[in-house]
């Protein structure tokens, strides 16, 4: 559609022909099937779409019922255009004294005129609103907090297609966090590490020490009382390096499964988030997470059985 050329909708069909829908005076677009057929063409138009108007619907009803429908539509506008169901309940319960409009009049008004245009424009939304369920966090098993409350956190900066991300992984628990960063300045590193420390603290864990390369030495005094251990020059922390390799492998497999040759920045960020989220969907099969998995296996198998219809 190009209104600078013509106020019409041009639809290109698979056979190369164009269907033109011209704007009518009331704002409705229509396609003239008879005008679309060429004078010397043998094409026969056999498919039509008919639109019922209010005038045609009124002709089907007696005058008294038509007047009652007009009164119902006028009353509907005066009381603020409620829903059709609520409007009929108001009339059925006689909430308006000496009201000449009945429920049948309201139904006939809907039959003749259809839904009120102003109500449709004011109440229609793009899609149904999604209800956010109440978050009920799962309690951390007591034996884990008793024997493994002190956690060592390893951190580093990873790059995906030139975009930096702040990444952490904890020993024993093997939980990962990732966040995009603009640079590797001291203020940026502190801003990203504080939410990670607060997350562990909120679940009852204590970050006793941090492990990182020399790039993080600038925040050594700012993360106290957690002790920061910095590696030697040209050296890296083994746990976080292996985690970075794993996340990059997940990201590459997802990229190769997409039909796109180029990815925008926001899509790359979502790709890294998805890789990290997929890695902590299930507990790691090592260290303390193995005990957590043993606790989760019975309810997890019951959930799978319910999904597959094996149990009620």
The pLDDT value recorded for residue 78 is 92
Among 7-16, 51-60, 206-215, the range scoring the smallest mean pLDDT is: 51-60
If you average pLDDT over residues 256-285, what whole number do you get?
84
DSSP assignment of the chain, as one string?
-BTTTBSEEEEE-TTS-EEEEEEPTTS-EE--HHHHS-TT-------------HHHHHTTS-HHHHHHHHHHHHHHHHTT---HHHHHHHHHTT-STT----HHHHHHHHHHH-S-HHHHHHH--SSPPPPPPPP-PPPPPHHHHHHS-EEEEEEEEEEETTEEEEEEEETTT--EEEEE-S---HHHHHHHHHHHHHHHHHTT-EEEEEEE-GGGGGGTTTSTTSEEEEPPTT---HHHHHHHHHHHHHHHHHHHTSS-S---HHHHHHHHHHHHHHHSSS--SSTHHHHHHHHHHHHHHHHHHHHHTS--
Its pTM stands at 0.53
The pLDDT value recorded for residue 261 is 84
**Which is higher by pLDDT, 20 or 309?**
20
Res. 156 pLDDT band, cuts 50 70 90: very high
Res. 31 pLDDT band, cuts 50 70 90: confident
- Under CATH, which number does the domain 142-275 receive? 3.30.420.10
- pLDDT single digits (tens) 183-203: 889 999 999 999 989 988 888
- pLDDT single digits (tens) 99-148: 999 999 999 999 888 888 888 888 887 766 677 777 777 777 777 777 77
The domains of the chain are located at 1-51, 55-123, 142-275, 282-312
């Amino acid at each position: 559609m190009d209104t600078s050329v013509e106020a019409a909708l041009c639809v290109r069909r698979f056979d190369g022909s164009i269907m033109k829908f011209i704007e009518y005076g009331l704002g409705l677009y229509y396609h003239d099937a008879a005008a679309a057929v060429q004078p010397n063409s043998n094409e026969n138009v056999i498919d039509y779409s008919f639109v019922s108007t209010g005038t045609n619907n009124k002709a089907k009803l007696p005058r008294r019922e038509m007047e009652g429908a007009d009164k119902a539509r006028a009353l509907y506008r005066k009381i603020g255009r409620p829903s059709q169901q609520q409007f009929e309940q108001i009339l059925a319960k006689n909430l308006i004294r000496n009201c000449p409009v009945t429920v049948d009049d309201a139904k006939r008004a809907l039959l003749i005129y259809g839904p009120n245009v102003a109500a449709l424009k004011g109440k229609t939304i793009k899609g149904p609103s999604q209800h956010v369920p109440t978050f009920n966090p799962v309690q951390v098993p007591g034996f884990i907090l008793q024997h493994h409350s002190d956690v060592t956190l390893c951190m580093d900066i990873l790059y995906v297609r030139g975009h930096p991300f702040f990444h952490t992984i904890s020993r024993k628990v093997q939980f990962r966090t990732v966040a995009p960063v603009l640079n590797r300045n001291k203020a940026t590193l502190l801003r990203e590490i504080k939410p990670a420390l607060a997350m562990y603290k909120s679940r009852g864990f204590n970050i006793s020490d941090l492990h990182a390369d020399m790039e993080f030495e600038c925040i050594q005094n700012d993360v106290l009382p957690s002790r920061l251990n910095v590696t030697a020059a040209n050296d890296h922390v083994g746990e976080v390096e292996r985690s970075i390799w794993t996340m990059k492998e997940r990201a590459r497999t997802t990229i190769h499964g997409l039909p796109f040759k180029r990815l925008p920045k926001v899509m790359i960020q979502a790709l890294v988030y998805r890789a990290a989220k997929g890695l902590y969907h299930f507990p790691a099969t090592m260290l303390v997470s193995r005990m957590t998995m043993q606790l989760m296996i019975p309810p997890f198998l019951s959930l799978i059985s319910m999904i597959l219809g094996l149990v009620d």
